[in-house]
């Protein structure tokens, strides 16, 4: 590495998801994902998905056999298999951040921060609908907020 030591630990974690012996942690502080395979007792750090370097992986959620990752700077939501291999990528989001997978419907809920809304995707990654909008109240800063 040029200019100093490579960061090997976690820097600024933002999301964690666990499912069937695996834990995945998003770490926008170093543009990486941390994969912990508890059954295999293995660790893997991922900084690149499908040939694209992660910039700010901030959201993570897991579903049956799949891992969903949002990168707020890239404006994308990635779908990976449990080994970390890219299955699909959906772009065009304005700062996708939080993710939630609903196992009952197979839907993925994406918090699209700059549009102040939640986007609902079907199991194939197609947008079903969205809801929410920017509130009418001014944001207050100070005591009691």
At 73-110, the pLDDT tens digits run 999 999 999 888 999 999 999 999 999 999 999 999 99
pTM for this one? 0.87
Q: Which two tokens stand for residue 44?
A: 């893997």
Residue 1 pLDDT level (bands cut at 50, 70, 90): very low
* Percent of the chain whose pLDDT exceeds 90: 79
Q: Which two tokens stand for residue 143?
A: 């005591």
Instruction: Return the pLDDT at 18.
Output: 94
User: Sign of the C-alpha dihedral, residues 50, 68, 21, 44?
Assistant: positive
109 burial level (CB within 10 Å; 0-12, 13-18, 19+): middle
Instruction: Return the pLDDT at 83.
Output: 87
- Whether the Cβ atoms of residue 55 and residue 49 lie closer than 8 Å to each other: no
What does the pLDDT look like over 49-72, one tens digit per residue? Answer: 999 999 999 999 999 999 999 999
């Amino acid at each position: 590495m040029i200019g100093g030591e490579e960061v090997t630990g976690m820097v600024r974690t933002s999301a964690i998801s666990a499912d069937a012996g695996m834990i995945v942690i998003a770490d926008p502080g170093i543009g990486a994902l941390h994969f912990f395979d508890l059954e295999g007792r293995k660790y893997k750090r991922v900084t690149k998905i499908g040939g694209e370097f992660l910039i700010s992986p901030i959201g993570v959620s897991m579903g049956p056999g799949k891992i969903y990752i949002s990168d707020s700077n890239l404006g994308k939501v990635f779908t990976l298999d449990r080994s970390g291999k890219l299955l699909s990528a959906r772009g065009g989001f304005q700062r996708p951040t939080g993710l939630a997978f609903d196992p009952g419907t197979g839907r993925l809920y994406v918090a699209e921060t700059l549009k102040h809304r939640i986007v609902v995707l079907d199991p194939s990654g197609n947008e079903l609908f969205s809801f929410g909008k920017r509130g009418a109240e001014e944001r207050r800063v100070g005591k009691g907020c």
